[in-house]
Amino acid sequence: MDDLDFTDSELERYSRHILLPEVGAIGQAKLRAASVLIVGAGGLGAPMIMYLAAAGIGRIGIIDDDAVDLSNLQRQVAHTTDRIGVNKAKSAAATAKAINPEIKIDILPFRLASDTIDDIFSQYDVIADGTDNFETRYLVNDAAVRLGKTLVTAALLRFDGQITTVKPGGPCYRCLFPNPPPPGAVPSCSEAGVLGSVAGILGTMQATEIIKEIMDVGDSLSGRLMLFDGLSMSLRAMKAKQRKDCPACGSTHPETG
């Protein structure tokens, strides 16, 4: 099938995309040819998976070793009550397939580890970080930088969220936050709480940013950290600059300099 040769079903499914001048048939074909790995099928990953599946991303990988819990359902909208106890990657994949059976889903029901991360990341065009812990967030950032992968990363707590994009040649997550905070310095969502809809807002922002990066349209969040405040319903952008002494991407780092 030619890159722009869509079936009647695809033309109908993606008609509202194709009508957009910034997307068109060429942009939709780029989405169909793209692959995205989503690390974590929780509050951020769940809406990402659903919207990327609906958008027609040709191949989506979902990695998560956790199981669906009742307390997840307030924000992790890809899961349902009857799937409590089911692995989250498997549950989210079932939802994505129900939305769009024409795409390919890779189910990776295990924990991301330093000895396998490069092999897994190398198989995808874009990486999306939907994790909820600093250890994995830094692991994901460092691997994406090392492999030259575009990474869209976000985080949330209570009523607030943040999102940025990491691209080769631009600042990475460590340029903004060189090292993880001391243990216990930042409470987790399970300790401090999170408004479920805020996870939806940040996750769909990630999906939008991923779609833009694949189609190469609009302004990238690379070099900017977007801060969302749900209580004031405001967005604020901070400029981010690449640090020469960044331990992941800086020019003085032995792996990059």
CATH number of the domain where residue 66 is located: 3.40.50.720
In a domain, 36, yes or no: yes
Q: Give pLDDT, residue 180.
A: 83
In a domain, 208, yes or no: yes
In a domain, 65, yes or no: yes
Q: Looking at this protein, which amino acid is placed at residue 226?
A: M
Contact status, residue 239 vs residue 166, Cβ threshold 8 Å: no
In a domain, 145, yes or no: yes
In a domain, 250, yes or no: no
In a domain, 244, yes or no: no
Q: In this predicted structure, which of 62-66, 225-229, 246-250 has the lowest mean pLDDT?
A: 246-250
Mean pLDDT of the chain: 93
Is 1's pLDDT higher than 70?
A: no
Q: Give pLDDT, residue 106.
A: 98
Question: Which two three-digit tokens encode residue 94?
Answer: 């079932």
Is 257's pLDDT higher than 50?
A: no
**222: DSSP letter:** B
Is 253's pLDDT higher than 80?
A: no
Residue where the block lists tokens 């969502």:
189
- For 191-244, write each residue's pLDDT tens digit: 788 999 999 999 999 999 999 999 999 999 999 999 999 999 999 999 999 999
- For 165-190, write each residue's pLDDT tens digit: 999 999 999 999 998 887 776 777 77
Phi, psi of 242 (to 5 degrees): -70, 130
- For 95-124, write each residue's pLDDT tens digit: 999 999 999 999 999 999 999 999 999 999
Q: Give pLDDT, residue 195.
A: 94
- Domain span at 115: 16-239
DSSP string, 61-92: EEE---B--GGGGGT-TT--GGGTTSBHHHHH
- Could you tell me how far CA 200 lies from the centroid of its own chain? 12
Q: Give pLDDT, residue 190.
A: 74
Q: Looking at this protein, which amino acid is placed at residue 173?
A: Y
Other beta carbons less than 10 A from residue 35's beta carbon:
16
In a domain, 249, yes or no: no
Query: Number of folded domains in the chain?
Result: 1
Q: At what angle do helices 45-55 and 88-99 cross, to 10 degrees?
A: 30
In a domain, 184, yes or no: yes
Q: Give pLDDT, residue 34.
A: 98
